[in-house]
Chain A
Amino acid sequence: MQKKDFDLQLGKNLNELPAYSPSDFAWERIEEKLEDQKIVFPWKAFLIASSVAGFFLIAFFLLRQETVKIDSPKPTSQATQERQLPEKSIQPAKPETAENTTIQINEKESQPKGKVKKQRIRDNGLAVSNRPPISVLNEPTSKELKLDTREKYTSVDEVQEKTYHSVAISWELDKIKFQVKTNFGAQDPILLESTGDEKSELQARIRLQRKNITNKTN
């Protein structure tokens, strides 16, 4: 009866369960998978590494750009060379001093030394510009003005000699106001009203007289 107990039989037969065999191609598949995993390029690691490297590169270039921006205002020898102005425009403005003569001599002797000297002058604070110097005439030009004939206005752009200052002058004749003074009578408003017609006649006469004057002058 003991042998017929279910749990006992179960426990005994569990160790005697038949074993199943996999197919013959099982190992080949496993081997293939192992080979594939060997060959497989580590894309994940590569992508992470490349993204990190890219980030650092971008950061580096950005930082570099910022430093260039900061460094650009600093004066360098090349920058001063590029900024050199044509000598003709500078020379007339310079007074003939001992220092300038030495510069000219040095320029003839050796080019680099002269550049150094020029740079020193610029460092002293002299403002230099490309524009020609301002010519100030001592003679008053108002003498030449002809008030009778009005000349054609020429704009500043049309003027060949460019200066810093442009002046536009215009003129016109004021209306002549005649004031008639008479010796007769006082300026009584009542009298004036009564003599309104006579006054208008007088004004007309004066106007005629003025026309006659102008005709005579012409």
Chain B
Amino acid sequence: MNQIQLESELIERVISQERKAQFQLFELTKRMVYSLAFRMLNDEELAHDVLQDTYVEVFQQIRNLKHSEALVSWMKTITARKAIKAGKKLFEFDKLDQNQDPADNQFDSWFDGELLDQAIRALPPGSRAVFMLTAVEGYSHKEAAKLLGISESTSKSQLNYAKKLLKTRIQTLLRA
């Protein structure tokens, strides 16, 4: 996902509650926020609710943001929190064997982002949430575990499980 560059002037205007600046920020970041919410929840309606709540909180709390350069990552964290709250009932973390056989990294075909996206959306909710937070958004297992309310080891095992599932899913999609 491409990094979004935000001008400090725009952030200042958003802090001063200027509606045009708020709209500009929304236009620049809406795909990033909505994509994260939609991939975590795999539900358009819930994702829209998360988007709405996220921007309301961003515009209300932006004056408390100490470092304006951290605005994008701050927005992502708010989105992730809102998505976890919205899909808390969906997220189930099955007990997995910690000593799973290491996945064979050999993959005999090519795949692109579109195919990977389809495979991610097909993941079970719990492991999908862990995969999105750790692999896509770059959170550490500790941070992801804290956000999801699980242990660090569960987060690790869920990531491995997600990768294994992705591999088989992509292979199935490629064969189809």
Q: Which residues of A contact B (CB under 8 A)?
A: 3-7, 9-10, 13-23, 26-27, 29-31, 33-34, 37
Contacts and interface: CB of A to CB of B under 8 A. Distances in A.
Interface string B20-45: 00110010001110110011000000
B91 to A, nearest CB: 20
A33 B59 CA distance: 11
Nearest to A25: B48
B68 interface: no
Interface stretch (B92-100, B106-114, B140-148, B149-157): B106-114
B30 A34 contact: no
Interface stretch (B50-58, B82-90, B122-130): B50-58
Given A27-B26, A30-B56, A18 B114 contact: yes
A10 B170 CA distance: 11
A10 B39 CA distance: 16
A4 B108 CA distance: 6
A6 B105 contact: yes
Interface of B: 1, 19, 22-23, 26, 30-32, 34-35, 38-39, 47-48, 51-52, 55-56, 59-60, 103, 105-117, 120, 135-136, 163, 166-167
Contacts of A20: 31, 34-35, 38-39, 47
Contacts of A22: 30-31, 34, 47-48, 51
Contacts of A30: 26, 51-52, 55-56
B139 to A, nearest CB: 13
A9 B111 contact: yes
Contacts of B167: 6
Which among A5, A6, A34 has the greatest number of chain B C-beta atoms within 10 A?
Answer: A6
Nearest to A36: B56
Nearest to A8: B105
11 contacts: A5-B107, A6-B103, A16-B112, A17-B35, A17-B117, A21-B34, A22-B47, A29-B52, A33-B52, A33-B56, A37-B60
A152 B132 CA distance: 117
A86 B5 CA distance: 99
Contacts of A33: 52, 56
A135 to B, nearest CB: 93
Given A4-B108, A10-B135, A13-B113, A21 B52 contact: no
Nearest to B30: A22
A29 B30 CA distance: 13
Given A30-B26, A34-B59, A19 B107 contact: no
A18 B113 contact: yes
A5 B107 CA distance: 6
Which among A13, A22, A29 has the greatest number of chain B C-beta atoms within 10 A?
Answer: A22
Given A17-B1, A22-B51, A34 B105 contact: no
Nearest to B166: A10
Nearest to A21: B31
A15 B115 CA distance: 13
Contacts of A19: 1, 31-32, 35
Contacts of A29: 48, 52
A13 B116 contact: yes
Contact of B110 (A9, A16, A21): A9
The 3 A-B pairs of least Cβ separation, nearest first, read A16-B113, A19-B31, A6-B107
Given A5-B105, A33-B52, A18 B117 contact: yes
A26 B34 CA distance: 10
A88 B117 CA distance: 112
A37 B38 contact: no
Contacts of A37: 56, 60
Given A15-B1, A17-B113, A21-B34, 15 more contacts: A6-B105, A6-B163, A10-B135, A13-B111, A14-B116, A17-B1, A17-B136, A18-B35, A18-B113, A19-B1, A19-B31, A21-B30, A29-B52, A31-B19, A34-B56
